[in-house]
Structure formats: structure tokens, C-alpha cells
Amino acid sequence: MNAFADKPWLSAYAEGVPATIVPPTGSLVDMMDATVKTYTSAVALDFFGATTSYSLLGEQISRVANGLAKLGVKAGDRVALVLPNCPQHIVAFYAVLRLGAIVVEHNPLYTPRELRHQFEDHGARVAIVWDKVVDTVLAFPKDIAVRATVSVDVTRAMPFGKRVALRLPIPKARTARAALTSSTLSKGAISWDTLVTSRALRRSHPRPAVTDIAVLQYTSGTTGSPKGAILTHNNLYSNALQGAAWVPGLQPGKEVFYAVLPMFHAYGLTLCLTFAMSMGARLVLFPKFDPGLVLDAARTTPPTFLPAVPPIYDRLERAAAERKVSLTGIRFAISGAMNLPVATVQRWEAATGGLLVEGYGMTETSPVAAGNPIGPSRRPGTVGVPFPSTEIRVTDPDDPSVDRGFDEEGELLVRGPQVFAGYWNRSDETAAVLLADGWLRTGDIVRVSADGFITIVDRMKELIITGGFNVAPSEVEEALLAYPSVADVAVVGIPHESGGEVVTAAVVLVPGAVLDAPALRQHCRGLLSAYKVPRTIVQVDELPHSLIGKVLRRQVREQLTRTAG
């Protein structure tokens, strides 16, 4: 029996937060239209000070939709977006949806090989691509379906005389070519301008239904290779409504959202592309996170709402202190994607006077499934409680039909309107995580208190089995990070010839520090049971991270296994 069936967490909700949301009846396009109508003259987008009003944004979306229709885009077609955060990204996103077509988001910094794999998987025939990456897409082999490539020059959306060099870390092989082609249109590409100067789409053009697919969102590939999660209009619109219900005192038409998270990732997509739009917010766009750029913008247009990840809050708070820039006025900061250290919360809240609260979710939940209540009942160190209209269970990791009770470790299962519709072209992998009655297996090991607060223990796939015990790498990593000379760390299990795994830590030290493994182990023994203390500690120069900043333990494990063998 599900111990959490009667939703014991509802009494922890902040005042005014409903137990359920009213399900959306329209699509994201209807949501966008309503915002454009309501907030006509308000600023929708702000890119280094160049602003776009909601009415102009609506107009551009309609023109680009028509331009795409002329390129042959129809309902159900996939259209690839390979763009950093920029005004054209928002326009392209809603223009594709307007036609009932499906947006496929991509990381523009992916290598040509990684991009090609995704294109093979989704089969988009039209791609809207950052000009620095256009040549990669144009050079795809003939068996890739792309027939039209639209080139986007991001700097054209910046104010005249104030063009900012982006210096994004494009893989080296591409920089030489990109430098040559940056101001001219690559042969075979279509310019973005030809789309925005099209006539507006006919109003009578068919529109998507709320049940249609809106987006294919590739997971970040932290534990396996990326798979395309199918997110419907209902999934994404529901998550925006759940978010709006969660935050008390939001002022539609008045909020200033900072988009420092990449919008091609599920987290940035929902917070900045859909939630901000549903609020009629001013969205200040950053093509990459750079504390200097953010603090410059904050001088003229301070944010009221800043979704990010823990390393961003730390860097921003340090940079602001160094430059003596005030961060007060940032009322809400929402952290997700990885564990939020309590020390980060304390420093951030002291600097801003606002709240920093942690949420939890995954690409497959569009992405937010749980959050800390925004009010006195929040519990730092936990990821909070399930969102409105969301149910949870905790089950035996080997058998999801066996429920676990309060405070017992088990796999978290989630059910709600934000749970995705399956993986694109992967029915086996879909069946493995999406149970027949709508429950999603998250693959995360958690403990849930009797009043519904969720503590993440670790990822099932990354638990280390040593001498019959389970070790959660994140707990060991946290202990190591508390040691002053440790700057970054990954803890993994390395297979041992006698069976089982050896707890192994790869550490990056602060500059000038020397590895003293016995002292580090001694420090761990003060914080952890003996079997969790890493047997092997190796020093490395740097560790691989996903674009959103998660340490890629799978890669570290492969590397260390190779060097050990």
C-alpha cells in the first residue's frame, strides 16, 4: 500500500497554494497568445539592453511561423533548434509550436558527432541553427533528414554599438571555420531574416491541441546516452501552472526573470521559455553564465526571479561581494538539478534578503516534481514536497510493486500531469520507466518523512556496492568537499577482482595544495561509517561536468577503470 496516498504534505504548503491545479484546456500557443494580448506593450525580452515588447514578439512569432510553413513545416514535423539563449530562440520555439510542429532542443556546444546522433534519432527536416554551428549541420551526411538550415546571427539581436563578444567554448575544430564564416551566410543556409520578414501567418492556420507533442527534450546523459523525452503541451503547460501556483506573491506582468540557465535544457526551458511567458515577465537573456554580464545587467534591471544551480549562486554571490554590487531585490531563487548545500543557501539569503529554495525533478517530469514550500515550513537539506496535482510512492528498487514506508530508503515514483509521454523511438526504455498506471520510475533513491518531505540519497545507477553495503557517492562527496583543500570531487565504485566495488575518490585540489590521502581519509572517518571512507583517492587536474554542472561520474568511472586495469 502506498504510505503517501493521502498526501500528508499538503499541510506544509505555503499559504494559498492549492492541492491541485486546474488542468490547462489550451496549448502553449494559446498561453502565449493570451500573454501577448494582456501585456501588449510590456517588455518581453531584454538582450544586453535591446528590448522586444510582447506585441512585437507576437508579430515575429507569427512571421517566422509563416516562413517555416513556406519551408514545408507541417503539424507533427520535428524542427531542430541549435541555439544559445537569445531572442531568436524564443521566437523560433513558439513559431514551431504555432504550426503544431515539434521543437527539438540541442546544446549548440555539442561536438559534430553528438549532434549527428541526435539528428539521426529525431529526423528533423528543418533546423534553426546558431551561425557558428551551421557548417556542422550543413556537412551532415545525406542520410540525415535535414533539408533546410536556417542560420541565426545572435549578435544582430544586440543593440547597435554594443555588440558583445560571446566567447562560448566552441570545440576547437570548429573555431577556425566559424571565424571565417561569422559575418557571411554559409552557402546552402537560409538567413533568419528571410523568416522574420515573411508575412504574418493566417489566423485560420490550424493550431496544436493540448494533448499534442510540443517538445522532444534530450536528457542530459549523466548516467547513459541521451534519449529524447516526449513532452506534450499539457506536460509543459501544467508544469508552468504548478510553478505559478507554488510561488506566493508573484506579480504577473511585473516580474524580471534572468535566463542564465540554458533554455535547451529542460530546466531552463520550463522556467524561462514557458513559465516566464505565462507570467508576462520581462526575460533578460544571457547566452552564457558570466558573473560580470549578470552583474552589469543587474545595475539597470535587477532580477526578481533567478532560477539557477548551486555553483551559479556561489559564483554570483562571490563576484557581487568583490565588486560591491548589491544583490538585494532578488526575491526568489530556485535551485535544482543537483544537491543544494545549506551553506550556499545561507550566504545567498544574507546577500539578497530573498529566498533560495530547492526543487527536484528531471527531464521526464517537465521538469519539476517537488519543491520546498516558499514560506516558513521549508526544510533546507531536503528537496521539499510534491508539487500540486503530483503523487509519489517510495518502492523497492528491484520491484516497483513493493511499497516502502516513511523514512525507508527506496526508489521514488512520481505521477502527475507533468509526467512525460515516453522516449522517442524507444519503446523498451519507455516501458522500463513508465508503468501502465502512469507512475514514473525516477531512478533516484530517496527517503520521505511522514509529513512528505523528500531527501535525495543518490541515483540508483550510481550507488556503490561494497562488501554487501550500499554507498551513496554524494554523501562521500559532501564529506570530501568539506575538507578545505578539496575544490571538486567525484566518488565512484571501481570493480574489484574479488567481486564488489572499491569506493574511489577523484579529487581536484585548490591551487597550490598537495594531496595528503591519509589526512583526507582521517577527515572522512570523522564524518562517515568506515565502509564509506574511500579506499583509493586519486588527484586529477579537472573533472568532467554536464552543461548544467553535474559531475559526470560515469565518465570518471570509465577513466579510472581503464587506468586501474
- Find out whether 412 and 390 touch, Cβ atoms under 8 Å: no
Q: How far is the CB of 338 from ligand ATP (least distance, A)?
A: 5
Grid cell in block for residue 276: 516566464
Stretch that binds ligand ATP, among 25-33, 42-50, 220-228, 533-541 (CB under 6 A): 220-228
**Residue 336 binds ligand ATP (CB under 6 A):** yes
Identified binder of ligand ATP from the candidate list 360, 423, 424, 483, rule CB under 6 A: 360
Is the CB of 49 or the CB of 224 nearer to ligand ATP? 224
Q: Where are the beta strands (DSSP E) in 233-309?
A: 256-259, 282-285, 305-308
**Residue 381 binds ligand ATP (CB under 6 A):** no
Cα–Cα distance measured from residue 314 to residue 312, given in angstroms and rounded to the nearest whole number: 5
> Footprint of ligand ATP on residues 264-283 (CB under 6 A)?
266
Stretch that binds ligand ATP, among 29-37, 161-169, 214-222, 304-312 (CB under 6 A): 214-222
**Residue 446 binds ligand ATP (CB under 6 A):** no
Is the CB of 109 or the CB of 537 nearer to ligand ATP? 109
Identified binder of ligand ATP from the candidate list 362, 414, 505, 551, rule CB under 6 A: 362
Count of CA atoms in the C-beta half-sphere (13 A) of 495: 8
**Residue 170 binds ligand ATP (CB under 6 A):** no
Phi, psi (degrees; rounded to nearest 5) at 61: -60, -45
**Residue 223 binds ligand ATP (CB under 6 A):** yes
- Closest alpha carbon to 479 in 523, 514, 447, 446: 523
* Amino acid, single-letter form, for residue 385: V
**Residue 222 binds ligand ATP (CB under 6 A):** yes
Phi, psi (degrees; rounded to nearest 5) at 99: -85, 0
Identified binder of ligand ATP from the candidate list 444, 477, 488, 501, rule CB under 6 A: 444
Is the CB of 228 or the CB of 534 nearer to ligand ATP? 228
Is the CB of 52 or the CB of 474 nearer to ligand ATP? 474
Q: How far is the CB of 130 from ligand ATP (least distance, A)?
A: 22
Three-class SS state of 237:
helix
Cis peptide leading into 367, omega within 30 of 0?
yes
**Residue 455 binds ligand ATP (CB under 6 A):** no
DSSP string, 405-467: -TT--EEEEEESTTS---BTT-HHHHHHHB-TTSPEEEEEEEEE-TT--EEEEEEGGG-EEET
Burial of 452 (0-12, 13-18, 19+ CB in 10 A): buried
**Residue 239 binds ligand ATP (CB under 6 A):** no
Identified binder of ligand ATP from the candidate list 128, 247, 337, 479, rule CB under 6 A: 337
Three-class SS state of 30:
helix
Q: How far is the CB of 372 from ligand ATP (least distance, A)?
A: 10
- 36-59 residues labelled b (16+ CB within 10 A) or e (exposed): beebeebbbbbbbeebbbbebbbb
Q: How far is the CB of 550 from ligand ATP (least distance, A)?
A: 6
Cα–Cα distance measured from residue 527 to residue 486, given in angstroms and rounded to the nearest whole number: 15
Identified binder of ligand ATP from the candidate list 273, 383, 413, 505, rule CB under 6 A: 383
Number of residues that bind ligand ATP (CB under 6 A): 24
Query: Interface with ligand ATP by CB under 6 A: which residues?
Result: 219-224, 226, 266, 336-339, 358, 360-363, 383, 442-444, 456, 459, 550
